[in-house]
Amino acid sequence: MLKFLVDMFFPPLCHNCREFIPNAGRVHVCEKCLTTSRPIQSPMCSCCGIPFATDEGISHLCGNCIAKHPPFDAACGAYLYEGAVKELIHRFKYDGRVQCRRPLALLLLERLSGVVADFSPDLIIPVPLHKKRLRQRGFNQAILIGEVLAKEWRVPFERRLLQRIRWTEPQVNLAASERMANVKGAFALREPKLASGKRIVLVDDVLTTGSTVAECSNVLKKAGALAVIAVTVARVAEN
């Protein structure tokens, strides 16, 4: 009731366009902005989560995942990396607007909580940054988003278990074929036994080719993780 009155007299601003939002829910991104980012829905690849070009039919494995099954069990993006979701991620990561973490985490929560509940995870792990990148940016976006998710899902959050031990070039600057080699051997676990026998959710802001989460999953599976899925706020539409 109090929140209703506060929203009526002081309506919240949209995190993206800064317009007032009457009847705002929890996310605080207005309808108009949200329509610029398409939610990812079936049919899509049941492993890497790439959306198929058609609206017809059911989800199944894509050609790439049939040819070589990734080390993760599934990768799920909430929205395509476009429009307001892309702008919010840019503001968050590159302009240091850390308050964007909440709407981004909530957008992920709204779409992927069901998948995560069905998966029934033991641990949530953020994709780590190299300490040089951490110094440049000042924060790890995957940790900030993951903290909100872990609290809502009531799942333990292990922010320091997985580490990035080698500097890698940003994946966006590389051809798809070079990305797996770029991240090979870039991750390690501080205490491998903590991953053994666990069902793990990896968290990141954006999934591009999936090479980064694939390499993280490799490390976790080698340490005996039972199952690994990756959840991201956004996903690019092509591998």
List interacting residues with Zn ion (CB under 5 A). 14, 16-17, 30, 33, 45, 47-48, 62, 65
CA 88 distance to own-chain centroid: 14
Q: H/E element holding 235?
A: strand 227-235
Residue 35 vs 196, nearer CB to Zn ion? 35
Residue 12 vs 192, nearer CB to Zn ion? 12
In whole angstroms, how far apart are CA 67 and each of 62, 71, 147, 230? Answer: 9, 13, 35, 20
Residue 140 vs 171, nearer CB to Zn ion? 171
CB atoms within 10 A of CB 169: 11
What is the C-alpha separation between 153 and 32, in angstroms, rounded? 28
Q: How far is the CB of 16 from Zn ion (least distance, A)?
A: 4
Residue 75 vs 220, nearer CB to Zn ion? 75
Q: How far is the CB of 63 from Zn ion (least distance, A)?
A: 8
Q: How far is the CB of 9 from Zn ion (least distance, A)?
A: 20
Q: How far is the CB of 31 from Zn ion (least distance, A)?
A: 8
Q: What is the DSSP letter of 15?
A: T
